[in-house]
Amino acid sequence: QVQLVESGGGLVQAGGSLRLSCAASGRTASSYAMGWFRQAPGKEREFVAAINWSGSSTFHAGSMKGRFTISRDNAKNTLYLQMNSLKPEDTAVYYCAAVLPRGGNVYYTELYEYHYWGQGTQVTVSS
């Protein structure tokens, strides 16, 4: 089992940057494939980015590609999301999630595939 705690959210002007962190605790935290999702008010939770357990493979949602970068530091058991060129439509609660890979060093992009979730961190982008 793994516990996840996000941090780094806040208020930023359009065009600015933020780096979110997700601290994972648990004996085998570095073995988990991980991802970022977000949920804006009145909308469903949506996929942002995913990374395999080793950090060798990543995938970013189309609308975030080129602006957001997912990474991880397994020595620190920490997942990151670097967000640049932020837009007001990026305003949402951002969640990190984790799942033990079922086969191979893979990442997952679907919400239902993840078993563990953090409590979320609010990101607000002002225009």
Q: Is the pLDDT of residue 40 over 90?
A: yes
- Give percent of the chain above pLDDT 90: 91
Q: What is the pLDDT of residue 78?
A: 96
- The residue-averaged pLDDT of 82-92 equals 97
SS (H, E, C) the chain: CCEEEEECCEEEECCCCEEEEEEEECCCHHHCEEEEEEECCCCCCEEEEEECCCCCCEEECCCCECCEEEEEECCCCEEEEEECCCCHHHCEEEEEEEECCCCCCCCCCCHHHCCEECCCEEEEEEC
Whole-number pLDDT of residue 122: 98
